[in-house]
Amino acid sequence: MIEFINNVQNYLIVKNFFIVLSGLDNTLLLLLISLPLGFVLALIFAIGRVSKIKLLSQTVASYIFVIRGTPLLVQIYLIYFGLGSIKLIRESFLWYALKEPFWCGVIALTINTVAYGAEIFRGGIQSIDKGQVESGLSLGFSRFLLLRKIILPIAIRKVLPSYGNELILMVKATSLVSLTTYMEMTGLARKIMAKTFAPVEAFIAAGILYLFLNFLMVQFVKYLEWKYNPHLRLS
């Protein structure tokens, strides 16, 4: 009897794996849009955070405080349910995007990762030795060229391990978008659970796929560290 139950569980795990796998493209789509957009905006916000313009720096700091101080789930609900309840938004062009669970998920994930990424990059920028900056200025670099050629490349290399952790967290955070009825991998697992009343088998399948995605993300970050840190290639 026990062997029969084990066989049934194994069958359900394998069957559910392929069902959940069909939502992988939706999960990847969320990541492929929110991560690059979040990376670019995080750099811009980090520059604003270290700016000598006090109003700009304080505005960015306030944004970071609010986003990091509230759960991502609350942010998703506020964007998906909250903004849709405002008549002015429903009657504007924004409604074409905000009525779709996918775009609400992209907006929420991007807003969230920008706040965390900006603080990571801020730490990298402020850790750069002043002598390197002064060397660039002595060569006649403009502020923009100094930023592009010296400050940002060095800062990004320094914070790659930390930012890699943020990327891994973002992969896992995509599971929360399923609460907006968007059918990515966790959404499909919840659907299977509701139909079969077998949550363990459904979420084991989802867990395996998330583990695989994060394994690929870890290898990608390791490759970037190896490529952009020459001293690692010598060891």
pLDDT digits (tens, 9 = 90+) for 198-230: 788 788 888 999 999 999 999 999 998 888 877
Quote the tokens at residue 51. 């700016």
CA distance 116 to 49: 12
Closest CA to 163 of 173, 151, 172, 155: 155
pTM exceeds 0.75 for this model: yes
pLDDT tens, per residue, the chain with 235 residues: 555 445 545 556 677 778 888 889 999 999 999 999 999 999 999 999 999 899 999 999 999 999 999 999 999 999 998 888 888 888 888 888 888 899 999 999 999 999 999 999 999 999 888 888 888 878 888 888 888 888 898 899 889 989 999 999 999 999 999 988 888 888 888 888 888 777 887 888 889 999 999 999 999 999 988 888 776 665 5
Max Cα–Cα distance, the chain, nearest Å: 80
